[in-house]
């Protein structure tokens, strides 16, 4: 049993990881400023886990707060989720993204060093590979950035690698997520996107609830099985398990790793629409429209390194992802 600090632990992936860590027997402390989390997440985590939740409300860039957390909590390791995550918004507000994502990580690492804590799992993203024709993508693919968001993730990874290379007491787990979707089996926590989501599954969910009229499918003339784009969707509960395995590997071996978290197979847009239609019980309307500039046909993870280094394998299917998403969003509507 270890005591783990989760920055951004009230957010979408952080809250699911909280529950997996508690199930795995860890004690978990959340630090979150709630800028993108609902106030009732800690209460819901308490209901699901049956244990009181320890939360520090504040900013990961606040060094005084971080020093207090480390002084009060005897932390063994950190999982760092707290960040801004919208690629499009990062183009409008690069400084906010660099300040939060890079500044936040550097402040956290300095506080960890001062507190003698040197185990960290970092939320990275497949976006560090840029747009590439090499599929499935291996971890040694060159990193390149097409947005300020991607820049912040590459910079974060590089800072962690440099520190770990210079000081063997540091062990860092870099996890590159592909497309996290779905919700917790309790249907009490899930993704809470803004008004018009940028990503496919939350968009489909809003069509399923009637908040949006129809889905736009951007292009059906790609070189894929049905002509629509293929992405590697991973259930958020599988992703959460990836963090437990990464953390355990860091604690047990002291060896750093950088791995993809995806299924390795991928689904087309039309397959996702069909699976979601089955989950919600009606055929969801869609239009085929022009391709979006910058979209590539296929983006999938090569998953073997995560299996070999940390024992990770995604188990849940596309149907599981759609059913859990629908249970979460339809439950929200029923309770509102
Ligand atoms: N969701 C995805 O598709 C995806 C894909 C790849 C990588 N990631 C990365 O995973 C991490 C978690 O993503 P998510 O989808 O759960 O996002 P999220 O917005 O739901 O969670 C982030 C959490 O961090 C908190 N936060 C933001 N800025 C903060 C700050 N300065 N101080 C303290 N707390 C702060 C937010 O309130 C939120 O609870 C992020 O680092 C994101 O870049 C997400």
Residue 203 CA: distances (Å) to CA of 84, 192, 300: 19, 11, 20
Task: Tell me which residue of 121, 112, 114, 33 sits closest to 75, measured CA to CA.
Answer: 112
pLDDT tens figures, 46-72: 999 999 999 999 999 999 999 999 999
The distance from CA 177 to its chain's CA centroid, rounded to whole angstroms, is: 6
- Is the Cβ–Cβ distance between 77 and 59 less than 8 Å? no
In the reported structure, the alpha carbon of residue 7 is separated from the centroid of ligand 1 by a whole-number distance in angstroms of 9
pLDDT tens figures, 124-168: 999 999 989 899 999 999 999 999 999 999 999 999 999 999 999
What does the mean pLDDT of the chain come to? 96
What was the pLDDT predicted at 192? Answer: 84
Residue 290 included in any domain: no
For residue 286, what are the contacts with CB-CB under 8 A and spacing of at least 6?
214, 215, 216, 217, 273
- Is the Cβ–Cβ distance between 10 and 32 less than 8 Å? yes
- Tally the domains of the chain: 1
Q: Which of 7, 9, 15, 36 to mutate to test the pocket of ligand 1 (most atoms within 8 A of CB)?
A: 36
Residue 55 included in any domain: yes
Count of CA atoms in the C-beta half-sphere (13 A) of 117: 24
Q: Which of 7, 9, 13 to mutate to test the pocket of ligand 1 (most atoms within 8 A of CB)?
A: 13
- CATH number of domain containing 171: 3.40.50.720
In the reported structure, the alpha carbon of residue 97 is separated from the centroid of ligand 1 by a whole-number distance in angstroms of 11
Residue 222 included in any domain: no
Residue 217 included in any domain: no
How many percent of the chain have pLDDT more than 70?
100
Structural domain range at position 173: 3-183+233-262+303-314
Residue 45 has phi, psi (to 5 degrees) of -65, -35
State which ligand 1 atom lies nearest to the alpha carbon of 59: 32
Query: Which sequence positions are flagged as catalytic?
Result: 149
Q: In the predicted model, what is the mean pLDDT of residues 238-243?
A: 98
In the reported structure, the alpha carbon of residue 32 is separated from the centroid of ligand 1 by a whole-number distance in angstroms of 10
Residue 325 included in any domain: no
Across the beta sheet with 3-7, the strand order is: 54-57, 27-32, 3-7, 77-80, 119-125, 171-177, 257-261
The alpha carbons of the chain give a radius of gyration, in whole angstroms, of 19
- Residue 293 — pLDDT band, cuts 50, 70, 90? confident
Residue 326 included in any domain: no
pLDDT tens figures, 255-264: 999 999 999 9
> Ligand 1 pocket by C-beta < 6 Å: which residues?
7-8, 10-14, 32-37, 59-61, 81-83, 85, 100, 104, 123, 125, 177, 180
CA distance 115 to 37: 27
Task: Tell me which residue of 58, 67, 1, 61 sits closest to 35, measured CA to CA.
Answer: 58
In the reported structure, the alpha carbon of residue 214 is separated from the centroid of ligand 1 by a whole-number distance in angstroms of 27
- Residue 249 — pLDDT band, cuts 50, 70, 90? very high
Q: Which of 8, 15, 235 to mutate to test the pocket of ligand 1 (most atoms within 8 A of CB)?
A: 8
pLDDT tens figures, 64-104: 999 999 999 999 999 999 999 999 899 999 999 999 999 99
What was the pLDDT predicted at 334? Answer: 75
What was the pLDDT predicted at 135? Answer: 94
CA distance 134 to 34: 37
Residue 175 included in any domain: yes
What was the pLDDT predicted at 95? Answer: 98
What was the pLDDT predicted at 197? Answer: 86
CA distance 14 to 177: 13
In the reported structure, the alpha carbon of residue 113 is separated from the centroid of ligand 1 by a whole-number distance in angstroms of 23
Residue 49 included in any domain: yes
């Amino acid at each position: 049993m270890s005591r783990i600090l989760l920055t951004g632990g009230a957010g979408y992936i952080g809250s699911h990881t909280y529950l997996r860590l508690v199930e795995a027997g860890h004690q978990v402390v959340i630090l979150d400023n709630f800028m993108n989390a609902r106030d009732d997440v800690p209460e819901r985590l308490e209901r699901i886990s049956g244990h009181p939740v320890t939360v520090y409300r504040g900013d990961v860039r606040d060094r005084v707060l971080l020093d207090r957390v480390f002084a009060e909590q005897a932390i063994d390791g950190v999982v760092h989720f707290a960040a801004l995550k919208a690629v499009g918004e990062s183009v409008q507000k690069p400084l906010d993204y660099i300040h939060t994502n890079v500044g936040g990580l550097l402040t956290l690492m300095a506080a960890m060093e001062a507190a003698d804590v040197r185990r960290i799992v970092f939320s990275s993203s497949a976006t560090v590979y840029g747009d590439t024709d090499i599929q499935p993508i291996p971890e040694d693919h060159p990193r390149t950035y097409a947005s300020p968001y991607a820049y912040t993730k590459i910079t974060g990874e590089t800072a962690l690698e440099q520190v770990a290379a210079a000081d063997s007491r540091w062990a860092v787990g870099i996890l590159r997520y592909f497309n996290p979707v779905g919700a917790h089996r309790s249907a009490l926590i899930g993704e809470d996107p803004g008004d018009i989501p940028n990503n496919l599954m939350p968009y489909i969910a809003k069509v399923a609830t009637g908040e949006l009229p129809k889905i736009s499918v951007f292009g059906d003339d790609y070189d894929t099985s049905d002509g629509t784009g293929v992405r590697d969707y991973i259930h958020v509960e599988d992703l959460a398990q990836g963090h437990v395995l990464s953390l355990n590997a860091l604690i047990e071996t002291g060896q750093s790793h950088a791995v993809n978290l995806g299924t390795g197979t991928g689904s087309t847009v039309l397959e996702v629409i069909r699976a979601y239609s089955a989950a919600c019980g009606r055929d969801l309307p869609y239009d085929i429209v022009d391709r979006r500039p910058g979209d590539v046909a296929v983006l999938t993870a090569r998953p073997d390194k995560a299996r070999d280094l940390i024992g990770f394998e995604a188990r849940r299917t596309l149907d599981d992802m759609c059913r859990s998403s629908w249970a979460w969003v339809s439950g929200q509507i029923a309770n509102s």
